[in-house]
Structure 1
Amino acid sequence: MSRPPSLTPPPAARAYPLHTARGDFAVVDHPVAPGVEPRGTALLLPGFTGSKEDFRLLHAPLAARGYRTVAVDGRGQYESDGPVHDEAPYAQPELARDVLAQAAALGTPLHLFGHSLGGQIARAAVLLEAPAPASFRSLTLMSSGPAQISGPQQERVKLLRDALAVMSMAEVWEAIESMDAPEDIADPAVGEDHLRVRWLGNKPAQLIATGRQLCVEPDRVAELAAVPLPYHVLSGATDGTWPLPLLDDMAVRLHARRTVVADADHSPNIDQPLPTAEAVADFWDTVPIE
């Protein structure tokens, strides 16, 4: 589970509901830094159990490089609404269509950036527009692999799905916290347990449906490679969800830029935000401004 330091938007950012043809989605929208020439806009998609706040530490350094960044809660994630029990709206094609609607509402083309589950949803969105995507200028896949997640992670997701079938979201949170390492548990002395607040905002059906998808996702790299976009595969130096050799191979198959962020695991955006932002901006700078 990603652990952003806060749910409060950065000082220069604005949080609001983005109105789209497929409903409203909660976003954090950070403008380009004052005095910096605008170079483009990016749409940032969070991972499984994550939220738009996972990108909090990336906004300012990317703004300083000329990029407006819009981080979004997907349908049923944290502050974006969705059905509680109906899983159908959370099927991957539906979530991919949500992304196209978000891009249309923001104005296209955009740099598309997906973390983990968000990367696979981003991939699906690009493939919906194949062979000539009009909505996107590039695609960055951060800690997001070519197919299903690793065996140990599949077991963790199955445990979560089984728990959600018989327990409330609050009860499941207590179970998760009891199993985490002591250093990973929020300190009550700090104040509000923002991670619990975020967790309780998620819709159970969303977690069940997307968790199942992570465990059965097929390899669609060849399909993606046929779409003429610039690609970037970025990860930490370790990753238990998709081992690095899989990410290395995916980058080769996509003819993608490859970045490995030192001293980072599955969430380089939180573990090492400044080197991650620098790598992302360096890639975006190679994409011609239209």
Structure 2
Amino acid sequence: MIAQLAPHGAEKVRVRGLAALRTPAPAKATAVLVPGYTGSKEDFAPLLDGLAAGGFRALAIDLPGQFESPGPADETAYLPAPLGAVVAGLVEDVAAEAPVVLLGHSYGGLVARAAVLAGAPVAGLTLLDSGPAELPDGARRQALGAGEPVLRASGLDAVYRVREQVSARSPLWVALPPDLKDFLRERFLASSPAGLLGMAAGLRTEPDRVDELAATGVPTLVVAGERDDAWSVPSQREMAARLGAPFELIPGAAHSPNTENPAALVRVLLRAWRQWLV
């Protein structure tokens, strides 16, 4: 399987102006899937057919400013709260036809949480390799700080050249198929610079809103790759405890179980989501 280029039976559509991948109906509910920073709907390609076979219509979206979805020039529009309002509106439309379960990966988890706090009518929320607040100190946060001045001064091409130079030291990157490398480059260069800057700011400033989420009473599931290097596994386990939510570890995965071990992730999701719809 080639991660974001995995074959699937979904069609490309636009929902509220956002590019999306949607599996065919009918289904007992719709799973709205929200990607993280520098991500896109294709991050969920390995999950789509499995979720559909399990009875859920999958709707994977680009957030505004990501890949094939346009976004505003205002950097503050890409913080979790305003993006959450966009997702809440989309969920409200989708929920008019069938119940919705909402999943957010990484930064998308902060956005999906904000959508629930904005009143998105969901049957449940899954936080996938996301955290209680801003990204903690570490390599990922340091990369955000290092990339911002390059992006402001020299643009997307310059930032991606730096990323490629750093990635070239990684055996995992070297082993990626050329067509996947081409896709990742194309996607990054199609991103909104304002979107990347705004989301990077959100990753460094988002407050802890776990107690607010718990107060909504929305059923929640917290899932992490066993080797997540963004938010630590213990911090995600603690977040689940504060939410009174189950916590699941995905073996053989780091920060992106959706591409690193999609079969195990689908099993975990379907088990929880079916319970929410009883």
TM-score normalised by the shorter chain: which range applies?
over 0.9
Structure 2 vs 1, CA of residues 122 and 190 (structure 1 numbering), >3 Å: closer, same or farther?
closer
Q: 2:253 maps to what in 1?
A: 264
Shift, 1:183, TM fit: 3.2
Count of residue pairs brought into register by the alignment = 273
Classify the secondary structure of the residue corresponding to 1:151.
Answer: coil
Shift, 1:41, TM fit: 0.6
Work out whether residues 99 and 125 of structure 1, in 8 Å CA contact, stay in contact via their aligned partners in 2.
Answer: yes
Moved more, 117-126 or 105-114: 105-114
Shift, 1:92, TM fit: 2.4
Structure 2 vs 1, CA of residues 240 and 172 (structure 1 numbering), >3 Å: closer, same or farther?
same
Classify the secondary structure of the residue corresponding to 1:238.
Answer: coil
Q: Which amino acid aligns with 2:147?
A: L
Work out whether residues 12 and 20 of structure 2, in 8 Å CA contact, stay in contact via their aligned partners in 1.
Answer: yes
Match of 1:100 among 82, 88, 97: 88
1:137 aligns with 2:143: no
1:127 aligns with 2:137: no
Q: 2:160 maps to what in 1?
A: 173
1:283 aligns with 2:276: no
- How far apart are the structure 1 equivalents of 2:232 and 2:88? 29
Work out whether residues 46 and 54 of structure 1, in 8 Å CA contact, stay in contact via their aligned partners in 2.
Answer: yes
1:216 aligns with 2:208: no
- How far apart are the structure 1 equivalents of 2:129 and 2:180? 30
Match of 2:151 among 164, 167, 170: 164
Over the aligned positions, Cα root-mean-square deviation in angstroms equals 2.0
Deviations along 1:201-243, one digit per CA (max 9) or x if unpaired, are: 1101111111111111111111111111111000110111111
- How far apart are the structure 1 equivalents of 2:216 and 2:107? 20
Work out whether residues 9 and 28 of structure 1, in 8 Å CA contact, stay in contact via their aligned partners in 2.
Answer: no
Matches within 5 A, 1:244-259: 244-259=233-248
Deviations along 1:80-119, one digit per CA (max 9) or x if unpaired, are: 0013x43132232221111012112323441000000000
Work out whether residues 76 and 206 of structure 1, in 8 Å CA contact, stay in contact via their aligned partners in 2.
Answer: yes
Match of 1:146 among 132, 142, 147: 132
Matches within 5 A, 1:41-120: 41-83=30-72, 85-108=73-96, 109-120=99-110
- How far apart are the structure 1 equivalents of 2:118 and 2:241? 23
- How far apart are the structure 2 equivalents of 1:175 and 1:182? 17
- How far apart are the structure 2 equivalents of 1:248 and 1:256? 9
Unaligned runs of 5+ in 2: none
Deviations along 1:187-211, one digit per CA (max 9) or x if unpaired, are: 6754871111111111011111111
Q: Which amino acid aligns with 1:62?
A: L
What is the TM-score with the length of structure 1 in the denominator? 0.88
Structure 2 vs 1, CA of residues 110 and 191 (structure 1 numbering), >3 Å: closer, same or farther?
closer
Moved more, 112-121 or 214-223: 214-223
Q: 2:191 maps to what in 1?
A: 202
Structure 2 vs 1, CA of residues 264 and 155 (structure 1 numbering), >3 Å: closer, same or farther?
same
Unaligned runs of 5+ in 1: none
Higher helix share: 2
- How far apart are the structure 2 equivalents of 1:163 and 1:91? 20
Match of 1:13 among 10, 15, 22: 10
Q: Which amino acid aligns with 1:31?
A: P
